[in-house]
Amino acid sequence: MTTPTQKLMVNGKDFSLDADPNMPVLWALRDILGLTGTKFGCGAGLCGACTIHVDGSPMRGCLTSLKQVQGKQVTTIEGLEAEKLKQAWLEHNVPQCGYCQAGQLMSAAALLTTTPKPTETQIVDAMSGNICRCGTYPRIKAAIQSASEA
Write out the residues near ligand FES by the rule CB under 6 A: 40-43, 45-50, 60, 62, 95-101, 132-134, 136
Residue with smaller CB distance to ligand FES, 62 or 143? 62
* Cβ at position 2, least distance to ligand FES in Å: 29
Rounded least distance, CB 32 to ligand FES, Å: 17
DSSP state of 44: S
Contact 147, 139 (CB under 8 A): no
Residues 38, 52 contacting (CB under 8 angstroms): yes
Residues 6+ apart with CB under 8 A from 28: 6, 8, 17, 19, 66
Nearer to ligand FES, 6 or 136 (CB): 136
Q: Which is nearer to ligand FES, 14 or 80 (CB)?
A: 80
